[in-house]
Amino acid sequence: MFSKILIANRGEIACRVIRTAQKLGISTVAVYSDADAHALHVSMADEAVNIGPAPVTDSYLRADHIIKAALDTGAEAIHPGYGFLSENPGFVDAVVKAGFVFIGPSADSIRAMGLKDAAKRLMEKAGVPVVPGYHGEAQELVVLASKAREIGYPVLIKARAGGGGKGMRKVDSPDDFAEALGSARREAKSAFGDDRVLVEKYIAKPRHIEVQVFGDNHGNAVHLYERDCSLQRRHQKVIEEAPAPGITAEMREAMTGAAVKAAQAIKYSGAGTIEFIVDATEGLRPDRFWFMEMNTRLQVEHPVTEMITGLDLVEWQLRVAAGEKLPLAQENIPLNGHSIEVRLYAEDPAKSFLPATGTLYHLAFPNAVKDGAVRVETGVRSGDEISPFYDPMIAKLVVHGADRAAALRAMQNALSETEVAGTVTNTAFLAALVRHPGFAAGDVDTGLIDRDLAGLIAPVAIEAGAKELAILFASGLFKRPVSTDPWTALRGYSHHAALAYPVMLEENGAITRYEVSVLGDERYGISSPAGTEELRVRHGPATWHVTGKGINLHAKAMTIPHGVAVLAKGAAAAFSVADPFLLAEAAGGGGDRLAAPMPGLVKSVRFAAGDQVKKGQVLLVLEAMKMEHSITAPHDGRIAEIASEGTQVKEKSSLVRFEDAGNDSSKI
């Protein structure tokens, strides 16, 4: 076994690898960019080496910097995690050439499965079923469009390199093919450096079921059962579970058998995943699944497999890379209960899942983590920042139950006890998915989220009393537990007349003035233009208890920059404490503009200054956090200025300025 390894990654997967290494007595070396100097994985490792500036192209994708760090620290092996260089055969070659062990498959295996078209031809030869489609070398528009017509619409354009839904577009009509192809190619080129694509038949009711496989260097290969990853948006997984709902013994035998056959075809060593697309229009049938691709690395969702088998897949990776045989034969690998994983992201579902940034002023996970009922995989802590440079994942919540119903209940509880303040998250969206009748019944497919999106992202009503608690907190009358200071309950109290403490909240762009008065005996009054209400506030061991007319709230409250956050039942509500002078200044400098919602790169520009545009037209495409975001016209108008293609913009930078409506002759 190794004595020291380097982890060529960051975030939660780096932390995950470090934990297993520590369990096995292996020293760890972390690498980090300038933006990650104080990251959790850096503090957990025995050593840490800076490998460059924040952009991944200058740090986590610099193979030479990573190998130098391994040489300088005396590491024996390099674990790639997932993403970044984990499936780059050139990196594997460089690692081996430098005298290190790569904790993963060989470069030849990665090359064999790295390009989807070549991989599918290989699988066909191995007797593994593949999706009908065009996997050839020709990339001309006329050829691809012709093949799409032969296959029959709808079709799916897919980048032949990489994964994660990048460079993938569904096309319903020949009229849309050219534009979809251009968009897929740009995204693929940006993400993988390869803009070549393949075209496949789009399955009407597809389920995404994958099989975890493991091989060693002694010719052994096994499977560790299947995972269902059908709940997706933008072709990216949102919820994963194991085993797959509704799977029969016959279906499992056929699918896992095909997966092991695929691994054996390339003499695979290490952890890998064979991904299948399944036609679920008539349930799960052993003749209705097809090979999509192989991920030659550890998957983000590997914890659900660990939960149902009781095995540590990172430990298996380390043992296999060290030359050992697989720890268990196929017949000895257990399958117990049901596990579900959700991905908690800093993103805004109501704004097309726009990635978010911000400081995690408060981050708390379920109490059940302490007794093992819930597993949390994270790479951040309270006080850490979600930056624009990397994937905005906050954590993965993983639960296990005796059966699927028990796992669903456990996940509902886990989400209700997860607290995040400082950035918008998808917590409410995940909770809505877990409660979804179709998902609860196991009737899932990759289109479920899109079909029911409006209901899944519907605004969650703020708990009654949350705003009142925020106003009280903003008044400054109590910001520490009453139990630690008996005089807190009397702070602001006047025997003769209640003193009024003003609080200005910004609500829907306007300022509302409230006045808070202390009435004594834990009672407070809040006055506003709408009237006055009386509340009683008590502080328990962890939460404030607010009661009043129609209010019975148990919640946490905390100050955040420019406001107050109130957290209750897994939901966070942020209230802005307004500064009227700043608002007035902002209003005075405003104009008819579109600003960048986050830092990014202007990838393409569709119009020029002087062009007349209609509401809803795509004006430009902004690439941020590895995804393309279309910026559309909010109304009809004529463009006065528009950002140039290739421009790197900051958050709130002006992207488009419209001519003043009063000077627009087209509206006369």
- Cα(211)–Cα(354) distance, integer angstroms: 30
In three-state secondary structure terms, 412 is helix
Bond before 243 cis per omega within 30 degrees = yes
CA distances from 441 to 276, 329, 446, 609 (A): 22, 33, 15, 53
Under 8 Å between Cβ of 200 and 290: no
- Cα(296)–Cα(80) distance, integer angstroms: 11
- Cα(269)–Cα(331) distance, integer angstroms: 19
CA distances from 561 to 81, 346, 361, 565 (A): 35, 18, 9, 10
- Cα(424)–Cα(209) distance, integer angstroms: 30
Q: How many residues does the chain have?
A: 668
User: Which residue is associated with the tokens 């834990």?
Assistant: 522
Six-digit token string for 284: 């799960």
Order of strands across the sheet with 289-295? Answer: 289-295, 270-279, 206-215, 221-233, 236-242, 338-345, 393-401, 374-378
Q: What is the DSSP string of 218-263?
A: TS-EEEEEEEEEEEEETTEEEEEEES-TT--HHHHHHHHHHHHHHH
Residues whose CB falls within 8 Å of the CB of residue 578, separated by 6 or more in sequence, listed in order:
504, 505, 506, 511
- Cα(666)–Cα(652) distance, integer angstroms: 29
Q: What share of the chain is helix, strand, coil (3-state, %, to 5)?
A: 30, 35, 35
Six-digit token string for 254: 């056929």
The count of C-alpha atoms lying within 13 angstroms of the C-alpha of 65, restricted to the half-sphere facing its C-beta, is 20
∠376-380-381 over CA atoms, to 5°? Answer: 95
Closest to 307 (Cα-Cα) out of 414, 199, 401:
401
- Cα(303)–Cα(312) distance, integer angstroms: 9
Specify which residues 253 forms β-bridges with.
none
Six-digit token string for 416: 């209700």
Kind plus residue range of the DSSP H or E element containing 182: helix 177-192
- Cα(322)–Cα(217) distance, integer angstroms: 10
In three-state secondary structure terms, 212 is strand
Pairing mode, strands 563-568 and 571-577: antiparallel
Of 297, 343, 404, 638, catalytic: 297
Q: Is 606 known to be catalytic?
A: no
Active site residues: 297
